Each structure stands twice: as C-alpha cells, then as structure tokens.
Structure 1
Amino acid sequence: MEPHTLFQQPTTEEIAARLRRIRRAKGWSLGDVELASKGAIKAVVLGSYERCDRALSIKRAIELTTFFDVPFSTLFEDTSENASPNTRQSAAKLILDLRALKSAPSSDRMYIDFTSWIITQRSDWNGEVLSIRASDLSILALLARSDCESVKTYLINHKYLLTGSNLI
C-alpha cells in the first residue's frame, strides 16, 4: 500500500516554467533582463534556468524573485491558466444562490454552515446571492473530502451555484 501524500512538490521543470512565466509577464526578453539588471543577471544564465539546463540555487532564486519583484513562493505555486482546479479557478465568478441553500436538505448542512460562516466573516448581508472565491471552493472541497471540480459540479447540479443558464 502506497502512503498518502499531503501535498505535491513542484518539479524542477515546473519551477523553471514559472520563472519563465514571471519574466514574460513583465514583458521582458532574456536580453531585457540582462540590461535592466545591469548585467547582474546574464541572459544566457537565466535562459539556462528556464530550460532546466542549470540548477537554480535558493540564493539565486531569491535574487531573481527580488529582481522581478514577486514573492519567492511564486516559484512554488502554480498560478498559470493551466493550473488544476484544486489550485486555481477560472476567471468566471462563482455565485451561490442563498435562496436555494436555505431550502437545502439536512444532508447538505455542511454547505449551509460554511456559507453562513463566509457571510458572517465578510459581513455580506445581501441575502440572495454570495460570490465565492476560489479559496472558498478549495475549503469546501477539503471539507467534502473531494476536489474543487467535483464540489463545483455538485453545487451546479443541486442548483446552489448560479451559472449562465440560471443567473438572476
């Protein structure tokens, strides 16, 4: 029996791809980085890190993330558009229908309780709908011992989550 892991470590290739994504998000070529850093970061070296041809030390990773003005943790968190549903939701808003949740069966008590907690935390007393964040969906998935996509599907199927076809 294989032991369960609590989390998945990023691969060196994923870290390298994130480094490249950070640079491109700034709109910089490898040469631009070398110029902007006044030669402190050589284009050929940065390219080697991005291709995984050269090992990236922690010290150098800190220097690079400082130069790019992003948190060091960015290298370890997948924030790409291709990220799994567990780590990043699409840009589409997730809107819970509180009216539907009020008439939910007791078997869905977890969703009701969690929604009540969110409303209280945010002091969002609108009463009919509640926008939820990707992090809220992740917590719901954790509570349901499921994944985000399954929870989202469940909420849609039970008409707790408003979609294009049932928006107010």
Structure 2
Amino acid sequence: MRTISENHAYAHEVGARLRTIRTQQGHSLQQVEIRSDGRWKVAALGSYERGDRMISVDKLAAIADFYGVPVHTLLPGGQPEPLRPQAARVVLNLPAMVRVSAAAAGPLRRWVAEIQRARDDYAGRVLSIREGDLRTLATLYTLNRDQLLDLLQEWMVLDPMSSIASASDTARSL
C-alpha cells in the first residue's frame, strides 16, 4: 500500500506531465477551459498540475484524449515516448510574404488574412503561429510540421524573433 508521501509524489509527477503536454501544445489553462467548452476548469486543471489534487483514471484518460496523447505519457513509469522538441516561437514576417508567389503562398496568405480578421489586427507586421496553427498549415500544404518549417525558411518569411527547433536541427546537434 502506498504511503501518503508516495501518493503526493505520484500526484506531482502526473501534474508535471500534464503541464508539460499542455505547454508544449501552446495552451494556457484558460484556453483549455474554453476549448473544452468548460469541461476542464482552470482551478481543477491547475490543481492537478500542481499535484494538489489526485486525478481519477477516467479523468486522466479524458484529458489525454483531449490533448491527443496516449495516457501512458501522463503516468510516472509509464515509459512515455520521447517528446520531440517543439518550436519555441514561430513568427511570420508579413511584409516578406509579398515576395513569395501567390501560387505558392496562397493558402498561407488566406490563413493569415483570416487570423487578422479574427483578431481585428490589420496593422501588424508580424504574426505569431501557435503549434496547433502549424499543424493546420502543414495539413493545408500536405506536409509534416518540419517540412512546413523548412518551406517557411526557404521562402524567407520567418521573422528574426522566431526560434525554431526542427527534428533535423535536433539530430544535427546530437
């Protein structure tokens, strides 16, 4: 039988893994509450992430499903698959996009225009791209995330504020 301190340590480890997955996906606690239509409240998620509150197996499985990860990645000793490095920050230089042919950058330009409409921001010279946005754009171009980042670099539309870690960068640094 587990001791209270073992249960507390276990809750902290599960919480740390929950926070890691959420932040890697670029979500704040508030965004998770909104995107889950209130199913996951900020107070409860924060409590789970701090390890202040034990989470049931059912709730853990539901959160894993919401994040799109296998449950074992959230469990201590569950031998999670290594998580690949995520882009720390991807920022588009909007004026530089004009230099890319409309045929090539059409989907990107339409996506940027829609984001500008949604944010009511037409004066910006840069646009930050979230991890979920990268997946969406990669799907539009029928590429994977790293191929899309390579394409954006090739087009020279990434702002100097970008700090990108692709799988190929990681392999070269090892």
TM-score (norm 1): 0.51
1:22 to 7, 11, 14: 14
1:145 to 133, 142, 165: 142
AA aligned to 1:22 is V
**Larger-gyration structure (1/2):** 1
AA aligned to 1:152 is L
Partner residue, 1:94: 90
1:122 to 114, 119, 122: 119
Identity of aligned residues (%): 23
CA RMSD of aligned residues (A): 3.9
- Paired residue total: 113
Range with bigger deviation, 123-132 or 95-104:
123-132
Distance 1:164-1:124 versus aligned 2 partners, 3 A rule: closer
Higher RCO, 1 or 2 (CA under 8 Å, sep at least 6)?
2
Partner residue, 1:105: 101
Q: Work out the CA distance in 2 between the residues paired with 1:21 and 1:115.
A: 38
Distance 1:24-1:113 versus aligned 2 partners, 3 A rule: closer
Per-residue deviation, 1:128: 0.9
Distance 1:21-1:140 versus aligned 2 partners, 3 A rule: farther
Which structure: greater helix fraction? 2
Per-residue deviation, 1:100: 0.8
SS at match of 1:137: helix
Partner residue, 2:63: 71
AA aligned to 2:112 is T
Partner residue, 1:135: 132
Per-residue deviation, 1:113: 1.1
Gapped runs of 5+ residues in structure 1? 1-18, 42-59
AA aligned to 1:140 is L
Gapped runs of 5+ residues in structure 2? 1-10, 18-48, 75-80, 164-174
Q: Say whether the 8 Å CA contact 2:91–2:162 is kept in structure 1.
A: no
